[in-house]
Structure 1
């Protein structure tokens, strides 16, 4: 595989794999096992407080949900904070590698997963993970990292999951590190955030606030592939006359609308929806991603709406929830993007990178020519594995 590096512009490193040069435009467009010995504290019957990271429940994860190479795995319920800084419950899993931890403990990766749905039955700790995610995470486990994997608030805990509420997702990922270390003394305090798609955007949010939110932890940096960003800018182009909409994009849109309502209950969602839109948005509360995309087949984005999203309070409300921060990054940030990604199109990530540069933030950007959403995630390992190794050096 060939590799060429674009010139550094204002300090940003941008690399391209696949031998083909592309131009990233800076404007958003809408696109159609046995256990190893591990020091584990006794499970608390109930957390004494709602402080971030306080553990409410701690149980062994069934082995059919383990990653390859797992030495032990436990499912936790723990306290975190939503984007309004109110206490909320989340669940998640702690995977430790087989074998003996290194001096100082296993370095930690906090995994932020991509879109699975917003219903409780969609939580990865309940249903398991895709073959893609299992292989990806097993690669990191084999490198000698413990993996802590939040489900996010509302996926298996009370309330509706506030999909793409970046601060809430980031809080859940950071507090998952706190919770994991409270029950497993084999985990080090040094950690890195890593995420894909929905979780890629969440990992960027995490990178912007990790050291301030949890100063007692040793946050080292973040890896984000196919990161959800510029969602609101894209949404302003959608109205009743919009004819664009693949099953995946339409399904994502219903989660976005539900997530905004969950994050900001005063938002008048019904005023934007057509009768068909109301039905699909309601179905999205329980249907996980694949069945929802099948349900959405043949429905364009325009058929969901009764008025344009550019009207009314959608834009200011959604910006407060979904707009990715452009500043606050005090550790290295890796962004990977495929040129053939139709779930998170390259121009959206290009605009994020360009806006960050204007604000004085320069992530390390890797572009994967010819790779789609999943392909770029897997291809990124050639670059992200050494990137993370350097963070822990």
Structure 2
């Protein structure tokens, strides 16, 4: 029961931005923790996706109560851009329980985190509490799993974060499993993806990509809680002036991320003077800026992000269509939770994405709550579904 209660608290409310409770630069000078050290068991001699460039201990994590039963490392590793399959360098954190591994090694959960920001400092691996995810790492390691927690491209390591690009985040999640296996011994090749909100899109996409991208790993299934599978519809809502207050933060982050990726995309084609006034505050994930950010969210209205021209709307819609799921058939069974009253992601968007995944031949277990919001009311069903995958039981197919 303790496990269930803790998992229920997973940071769904962090979408689009959760307050960053600390930064790695501060952690490194904390007097009680000592400096990070190289992980002796890490293999640093590869050049393929998932190979590790750097692996250092996380003393501030392992000295916390939740981290005392862990072996933990911050890793910088090679991955791949989902847009053009070019090589990238990303970061994350990896964990194994202390003690002897079971026969076959520790089975793996690759966690996909909710939105924490779009700037480099907004990364779990740079924070002593993993930006709230340490408690979930503690839960899963307590259940006997090794855990990989990707920061996602552009967070924690140099680069641009492609916000809402689930395919790129998925490749980061898959390569985090590889990096985990290169960092600690006795880790199994059997794994599941488990994501919420932004990370749910990554988990779903990891299910699609795993068969071809990482055939040496044995994906057993993926769980996606409130996935932003297809955010194309947010453009029409911006045009109609029907964005919820939560969706205003989402579309602002999407526009800013896309403008960084595509320098010819003019931010002013998608914002009023009022939105421009608050723009930089809205994307600032620093904890000291939390109050100002909340004021900025209150200061923008449902029409402040409307595309100025039909051409601008078509451009934004097309870019989001390129990222929409599904991209290809699922590799293994998928579990999807979504709520009918989610203020961030319209339920019909998720319904349509699930229908397309089913049409491609996928196996999808659907947990739809017509009165639910962005947070599921409980995680009992999801945890049991995940356990069943490791036990080799068949998954219910609601397609």
TM-score when scaled to structure 2?
Answer: 0.78
| Further displaced range: 185-194 or 332-341 | 332-341
Cα contact 1:94–1:147 (8 A) shared by 2: yes
Shift of 1:229: 2.2
Uncovered stretches (5+) of structure 2, i.e. residues with no partner: 1-38, 392-399
Cα contact 1:196–1:225 (8 A) shared by 2: yes
Cα contact 1:42–1:183 (8 A) shared by 2: yes
Q: 2:51 aligns with which of 54, 64, 71?
A: 54
Over 3 Å counting, the alpha-carbon distance change for 1:256 and 1:311 in structure 2 is: closer
CA–CA distance in 2 between the matches of 1:115 and 1:129? 13
TM-score when scaled to structure 1?
Answer: 0.79
| 1:238 alignment counterpart | 238
| 2:326 alignment counterpart | 325
| 2:26 alignment counterpart | none
Over 3 Å counting, the alpha-carbon distance change for 1:319 and 1:266 in structure 2 is: farther
C-alpha distance after superposition, 1:186-212 (max 9, x if no partner): 211111111000001111111111111
Shift of 1:273: 2.9
Pairing 1:173-252 to 2, within 5 Å after superposition: 173-239=173-239, 242=241, 244-246=243-245, 248-252=246-250
CA–CA distance in 1 between the matches of 2:295 and 2:277? 14
| 1:253 alignment counterpart | 251
| 1:73 alignment counterpart | 72
Q: Secondary structure at the match of 1:99?
A: coil
CA–CA distance in 2 between the matches of 1:281 and 1:165? 21
Shift of 1:141: 2.1
Cα contact 2:231–2:324 (8 A) shared by 1: yes
CA–CA distance in 2 between the matches of 1:178 and 1:388? 20
Over 3 Å counting, the alpha-carbon distance change for 1:272 and 1:344 in structure 2 is: closer
| 1:159 alignment counterpart | 159
Over 3 Å counting, the alpha-carbon distance change for 1:91 and 1:129 in structure 2 is: same
Cα contact 2:275–2:300 (8 A) shared by 1: no
Shift of 1:48: 5.6
Over 3 Å counting, the alpha-carbon distance change for 1:107 and 1:181 in structure 2 is: same
| 1:301 alignment counterpart | 302
Cα contact 1:336–1:366 (8 A) shared by 2: yes
Shift of 1:288: 5.4
CA–CA distance in 2 between the matches of 1:208 and 1:179? 20
Shift of 1:362: 3.6
Shift of 1:153: 0.7
| 2:81 alignment counterpart | 82
Equivalent residue pairs, number: 345
| 1:313 alignment counterpart | 315
Cα contact 1:162–1:258 (8 A) shared by 2: no
Over 3 Å counting, the alpha-carbon distance change for 1:336 and 1:383 in structure 2 is: same
CA–CA distance in 2 between the matches of 1:308 and 1:141? 51
Q: Does 1:126 align with 2:123?
A: no
CA–CA distance in 1 between the matches of 2:373 and 2:78? 35
Shift of 1:279: 4.2
Uncovered stretches (5+) of structure 1, i.e. residues with no partner: 1-39
Shift of 1:171: 0.8
For the aligned residues, what is the CA RMSD? 2.6
CA–CA distance in 2 between the matches of 1:125 and 1:242? 37
| Further displaced range: 310-319 or 111-120 | 310-319
Q: Secondary structure at the match of 2:56?
A: strand
C-alpha distance after superposition, 1:226-265 (max 9, x if no partner): 11122112322312x615431x322211111122234444
Cα contact 2:329–2:360 (8 A) shared by 1: no
CA–CA distance in 2 between the matches of 1:219 and 1:76? 22
Shift of 1:391: 1.6
